[in-house]
Structures are given as structure tokens and as C-alpha cells.
Copies of this chain bind each other. A is one copy, B any other.
Amino acid sequence: MNAIRAADADDLAATMTALGEAARAAAAAVAAATAGAKETALRAAAAAVRARAAEILQANDADMATCRANGVSAALADRTRLDPARVEAIARGLDDVAALPDPVGAIDKEWTRPNGLTIRRVRVPIGVVAIIFEARPNVTADAGALCLKSGNVAILRGGSESFESSRVLVACLHDGLRAAGLPTAAIGLVPTRDREAVGHLLRMAGLVDVVVPRGGRSLIERVMREARVPVIAHLDGLCHTYVHRGADPDKARRIVVNAKMRRVSVCGATETLLVDREVALTHLPPILHDLFKARCEIRGDEVVQRLDPRVVAATEADWRTEYLDAVLAVRVVDGLDAAIAHVNGYGSHHTDAIVTEDEAAAAAFCARVDSAIVLHNASTQFADGGEFGFGAEIGISTGRLPPRGPVGAEQLTSYKYVVLGDGQIRP
């Protein structure tokens, strides 16, 4: 038994190394691919998804059978499930990425030194990007497409639930790459469900340049703990909306209800509402009215509890909870400083909003709240690469180093300096 395990482990190590080496070998060709070739590949991949829809759905049937056999949750099964409309959405997503501008080669800035040297900072691909995600077979296509658009080689490791669907989707991406004369190693798929494969990806320094985990907290934490390569991580979205005493009550009502209830399961959903004590009795009741009408549970502090008998008592844990559900924690605060302290202390540095007509207060909030995205008079649900104009996104980075916030094709690039001289030597 042990001997067999060891042989399996050797096989897995060899498989993963081969995958990494193929990716590294393809990196120069993918980095050098023209905008036209990449667009051709993505449009051909979209066409392949449409042409092979029946095959994709058949593979998905096999995945759904595995889901049933393994007794996965209804939510996970739904995320895994494809239907003709979802397959068409995948194809449309590929066309959308095809239409994005090519970020590679763009000149961020250019300046000339007193000695005549001209220095350009030019966008370049990062190299080999490993993306580790759970369920949702569409991520296979989105992630592969965004990596290709940004000139990176992708190594994809999808959820084991969507293993068969992902295989066919990657085959469609390969159809696209072949149509454009690009190497199919540009988009690699980990060819096994073995969980240990993730461990290999995290330690393949030299072959993998960055790992992007996309999934639940336990996956992200494993990646951050084990990775020996840089990580672009998307941790919790414990987002706040703060209704400042200078808020327009109607705007506050509209924004808060949207920020919480538009979609409760997205990372940009507001989880805690802060309201200035001065306006709690005037601004909060209409907001609570709308939220209760929308079947949202409210967990409030004592002031909030007195406003409505349906309010449940909030505990300290509520200020730290990302519900991803129709539940909102509500707290009354004593002004701007207290609100900022709460957001920076309890939040996850993802997305936070202030509602106010007081420009100075808004500026202070936006400057002092230490989050990837801060908003003034807008819903936290705008935390999304598409809403930013980035096209698709691979996630929202909650790290402190760039890329921070929504990560689209441009954010999957790095830069180099090109220095143009005429024989300059350094004195």
C-alpha cells in the first residue's frame, strides 16, 4: 500500500513538473503573441464552445452525477450545473475578453533624463499564472481567457466537481489557440482530481510566477500558508456602508438596500451598516422598513433594537461576520472617526462606502479607510471588474501590494523599464 502511494506521489510530482515546464516553455511565445492572434484565439474558442455545446453538457452531466454520488450541497451542485444558456454565457464571456484592449506593450509613462536617456515603463505579462478555483466551470474559460489576453500562460486547477466540464472547456480553448497558431500549452489544466496537485502548484517556484486562488476561506488560507510563490489573494469581503450625519436620507435608503440586497452572496455585498447617532432616529427607520420588506434579518445594537421589535441583538461576532446572506449588522456610531475606526478595525479592507452630502467628510473617509475600494454615495455592489470597465475579472485582491482591487487583464500584467540611449555611459 505504501509502495503504491509512493509511486502515485512520484507520478503526480512528475505530472505537475511536466505541466509547469510546458507552461514555462510556452511563456515567451505567449508573451510575444500579437493582439490580433490573441483575439483570433479567443473568438475561435468562443465558436468552439458554441459548436461543442452538446459535448460540454454531456461532460457536465457526468459532473452532476458525481455531485449526486458525493452528496454535495444544493448550492455547490447549482454552481457546477451548466445548461444551454450558461454555455452560451461562457461563449459570450470569451467574445467579451476578445474585444478588450490588449494590455501588453502599453507604455505607462515615459520620461527623459538630463543625460538624454529616455526611460519607458512598459506593460509586460507576468509569465506563468496558476489559478486554483472551486466549482463554477465558467471560471475555467474566464481565467484562461484573461491570462491569454494579458500574455500569460495559465495553469488551471478547477474544482473536482466540475472536472469533466473543465476538460471540455479547455479543449475548446485549445481549439482557439490552434486556430491562431499559438501553443496549446498556453492554457494548461491540471489533469487529476488529486488534492495534492495543489500543493505542487504552490511550491513550483521558477515554473509558476504567481498563484491566484479563487474560492472559500479555507482554500485561500491554505494557499497563503503553503505557497512558496507570490499570491494574488481574494480574502473576505466584509464590506460596510456608513450613513454619515450629512447623508441625504433618500440616497442613503436606496444605496443601503441595494448594497445589501441586490445580491447577498457576492463579495461586494454590505455586511455591516454604520449610522451616525445624530441621524439614527430619522434615517434608519425607512432603511429598516425596506430591508424587512425584502426579508433581510437585522442584527442591531441597543439603539437599533429600540427602533423595531424585529431587530435581533447583535453580538461582537456580528461585526466580524461576512454573512453572504440576507442578514445585516447595524451599529450606531458617534461620528466619522468612530466609523473609520470600526471599518478599519473590523473590516477586511475590501470595499467600504460613505453616504453623505458633506464633501469634507467624504474625502476624509475615502482617504483614511484602508480598503482596496472606497466609495462615496454609491453601492458597495459596484465592487466588480466589469463595473470598473476592466471587462472580466479574475477576483478582487485584498492584498496590500499591487494588484489590489479588481484583477482584470491589465492587472495580470507587470512592467519592465526600456531605456533608450545614444551611447551614454555612467560617469
Contacts and interface: CB of A to CB of B under 8 A. Distances in A.
A258 to B, nearest CB: 4
Interface in A320-335: none
A417 B405 contact: yes
A346 interface: no
Given A416-B404, A423-B254, A28 B378 contact: no
Contacts of A32: 367-368
Contacts of A150: none
Nearest to A384: B426
A414 B399 CA distance: 10
Nearest to A419: B375
Identical chains bound together, number: 2
Contacts of A421: 375-378, 382
Contact of A258 (B113, B404, B425): B425
Contact of A379 (B230, B251, B402, B424): B424
Nearest to A371: B416
Interface in A299-332: none
Nearest to A128: B400
B210 A374 contact: no
Interface string A108-141: 0001010001010000101100000000000000
A424 B372 contact: no
A22 interface: no
Contact of A255 (B225, B259, B399, B425): B425
A418 interface: yes
A304 to B, nearest CB: 22
A209 interface: yes
Interface in A195-220: 205, 209-210
A-B CB proximity, top 7 nearest? A378-B421, A258-B425, A251-B423, A381-B426, A375-B419, A377-B421, A378-B424
